[in-house]
Amino acid sequence: MRSIALLLWIWAISALAATPWEVYLELPTPENAARVRAIEYTAPVEGGYNADDLRLLESQVRAADSQAFRLAYRLYIKSDGGLAEELGVMLGQVTRAHPTFFLKQVSALKIECSSLKWALNSPGIEYVDRLSAQTYEITQRRKALESVKAKNLATVRDHCLKQFERP
């Protein structure tokens, strides 16, 4: 009986010691996303992050979760290297699927779309060595943003459209 109580106590303590990022991964709610400021683990992870963990965040961003988008952006602006690339692609991909959502997030964050220029123009690793597919994806992103006719998003839409590089 004592060993069960001890195990429960250890489990409770370790659960309380989870980082906000780990809590988010266990339950990716908007509330948990809003609490994350950095990718941090209780035990060090080689390379600083687990790429598979980003797939969970990506799923939430693609589902048009505002807090997940904002989390991805917070992480993106503080990152470099491979992490920045993965987050940038994640942010850019949502423009095609949810252009109004994307523009609303840029507006709500009060950011310049120029901070997302790289993300808007980066189709992802699956497009490497497929130049026609890259061009097609970026063109479709541009068309998706052009399709947003909401007057309250016109300024942000036009600024974001200027960030696309012409093929």
In a domain, 60, yes or no: yes
- The per-residue pLDDT for 13 is 47
- 138 in Cβ contact with 117 (< 8 Å): no
In a domain, 102, yes or no: yes
In a domain, 76, yes or no: yes
In a domain, 20, yes or no: yes
In a domain, 13, yes or no: yes
In a domain, 167, yes or no: no
User: How many domains is the chain partitioned into structurally?
Assistant: 1
Alpha carbons 119 and 124: distance in angstroms, whole number: 9
Q: Where are the alpha helices (DSSP H) in the chain?
A: 2-16, 20-26, 30-35, 51-62, 66-78, 81-97, 99-109, 117-120, 131-146, 154-161
In a domain, 154, yes or no: yes
The per-residue pLDDT for range 114-160, each reduced to its tens digit, is 999 999 999 988 888 999 999 999 999 999 999 999 999 999 999 99
Local structure of 139: helix, strand or coil: helix
The per-residue pLDDT for range 27-78, each reduced to its tens digit, is 999 999 999 999 999 999 888 899 999 999 999 999 999 999 999 999 999 9
Q: Would the pLDDT of 1 be above 80?
A: no
Alpha carbons 152 and 137: distance in angstroms, whole number: 26
The residue type of 128 is: V
Q: What is the DSSP letter of 74?
A: H
Note down the domain range covering 146: 2-161
Local structure of 161: helix, strand or coil: helix
Phi, psi of 128 (to 5 degrees): -60, 135
